């Protein structure tokens, strides 16, 4: 399926005249079992696309919330192969919701690009966002993805000019993830008005849907961002729910809390008609 499943998700949101809800969660936090329940809860409460975080010891582009989530997942013994197994378990009963694996290059490089891509495709992963693999460095992976129908999803940022946007778009599919603020995940919120022009430019240059993330935490912020974007990404706010569950020791509260937040966000997006 791969990129067609992602395209279909955007088509559905568009047919409902709203922005897509893209949610992020860290696999293995607070546990792999709860992560499976969280995947289902996110889907059941309106997530259109789910980004599944693969933990890494040195997440250079992440703020404290996702850093800690990754370390908790690693402390639980979560390996890249566990993340793929989690995806496969979800995919068994869900042929519709796109799953995007998000992480850093080294665990994937360590597994081997070919072996990883095949395993990911078999597990029902539809694409990947590899934070530290810019277009200059992903040629090897891109070629393999092309054969398997997986999407290379790339990032654009406020520092991306038009020439760079073309480079980012070259070989990308699915959508472009627009990082709203220069900074790490979970940092301060962006002003939609300040980035509207850049988002429109990236959409025009890439011909792909543009999802905006970084600093979007609640329904009100999501609704504002939805006015300028094809999709809204919420990450750290979900990860904080897992952290709460971890801190209270009540792991079973993570999935319902994440589902609740997804529902709030989805209702907020439904209220913003797209022009």
Partner 1 sequence: MDLRNTWDQWPDANGRFGEFGGRYVAETLMPLILDLEREYRAAKQDPAFKAEMDDLWTHYVGRPSPLYFAERLTEHFGGAKIYFKRDELNHTGAHKINNCLGQVLLARRMGKKRIIAETGAGQHGVATATICARFGLECVVFMGETDVERQKPNVFRMRLLGAKIVPVSSGTGTLKDAMNEALRDWVTNVDDTFYCIGTAAGPHPYPEMVRDFQSVIGREARAQILEREGRLPDAVMACIGGGSNAIGLFHPFIEDEGVRLIGVEAAGHGIETGEHAAALNGGKPGILHGNRTYLLQTDDGQIIDAHSISAGLDYPGIGPEHAFLRDAGRAEYLSCTDQEALDAFQLCTRLEGIIPALEPSHAIARVGEVAKELGKDGLLILNMCGRGDKDVFSVAKALGVDV
Which 152-191 residues touch partner 1, going by CB under 8 A? 154-161, 164, 168, 179, 182-184, 187
Q: For the window 75-114, what string marks contact with partner 1 as x by the rule CB under 8 A?
A: ----xxx----------------------xxxxxxxx---
Exactly one of 132, 196, 217, 227 binds partner 1 (CB under 8 A); that residue is 132
Three-class SS of the chain: CCHHHHHHHHHHHHHCCCCEEEEEEECCCCCHHHHHHHHHHHHHCCCCEEEEECCCCCCCCCCHHHHHHHHHHHHCCCCHHHHHHHHHHHHHHCCCCCEEEEECHHHHHHHCHHHHHHHHHHHCCCEEEECCCCHHHCHHHHHHHHHHCCEECEEECCCCCHHHHHHHHCCCCCCEEEECCCCCCCCCCCCHHHHHHHHHHHHHHHCCCEEEECCCCCHHHHHHHHCCCCEEEECHHHHHHHHHHHHHCCHHHHHHHHHHHHHHHHHHHHCCCCC
Among 59, 124, 215, 263, binds partner 1 (CB under 8 A): 59
Marked catalytic residue, from 7, 34, 51, 224:
51
Q: Which stretch binds partner 1 (CB under 8 A): 19-27, 134-142, 217-225, 239-247?
A: 134-142
**Contact characters 3-42, partner 1, x per CB under 8 A:** ----------------------------------------
Q: Decide whether 83 or 234 has the Cβ nearer to partner 1.
A: 83
Q: Is 62 a catalytic residue?
A: yes
Nearest approach in angstroms of CB 25 to partner 1 is 19
Q: How far is the CB of 13 from partner 1 (least distance, A)?
A: 24
Q: Is 7 a catalytic residue?
A: no
Which residues would be at the binding site for partner 1 (CB under 8 A)? 56-61, 63-64, 67, 71, 74, 79-81, 104-111, 131-134, 136-137, 154-161, 164, 168, 179, 182-184, 187
């Amino acid at each position: 399926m791969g990129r067609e499943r992602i395209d279909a998700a955007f088509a559905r949101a568009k047919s409902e005249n709203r922005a897509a809800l893209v949610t992020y969660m860290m696999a293995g936090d607070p546990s792999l079992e709860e992560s499976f329940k969280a995947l289902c809860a996110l889907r059941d409460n309106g997530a259109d696309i789910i980004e599944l975080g693969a933990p890494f010891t040195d997440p250079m582009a992440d703020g404290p919330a996702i850093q800690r989530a990754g370390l908790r997942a690693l402390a639980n013994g979560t390996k890249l192969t566990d993340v793929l197994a989690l995806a496969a378990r979800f995919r068994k009963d869900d042929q519709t919701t796109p799953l995007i694996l998000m992480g850093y290059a080294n665990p994937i490089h360590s597994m081997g690009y070919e072996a990883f891509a095949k395993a990911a495709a078999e597990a029902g992963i539809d694409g990947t966002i590899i934070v530290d693999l810019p277009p200059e460095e992903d040629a090897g992976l891109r070629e393999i993805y092309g054969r398997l129908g997986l999407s290379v999803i790339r990032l654009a940022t406020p520092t991306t000019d038009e020439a760079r946007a073309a480079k980012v778009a070259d070989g990308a599919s699915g959508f472009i993830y627009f990082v709203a603020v220069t900074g790490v995940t979970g940092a301060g919120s962006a002003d939609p008005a300040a980035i509207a022009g850049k988002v429109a430019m990236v959409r025009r240059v890439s011909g792909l849907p543009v999802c905006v993330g970084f600093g979007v935490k609640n329904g009100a912020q999501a609704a504002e961002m939805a006015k300028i974007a094809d999709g809204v990404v919420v990450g750290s706010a979900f990860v904080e729910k897992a952290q709460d569950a971890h801190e209270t020791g009540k792991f079973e509260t993570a999935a319902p809390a994440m589902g609740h937040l997804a529902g709030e966000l989805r209702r907020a997006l439904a209220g913003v008609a797209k022009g």
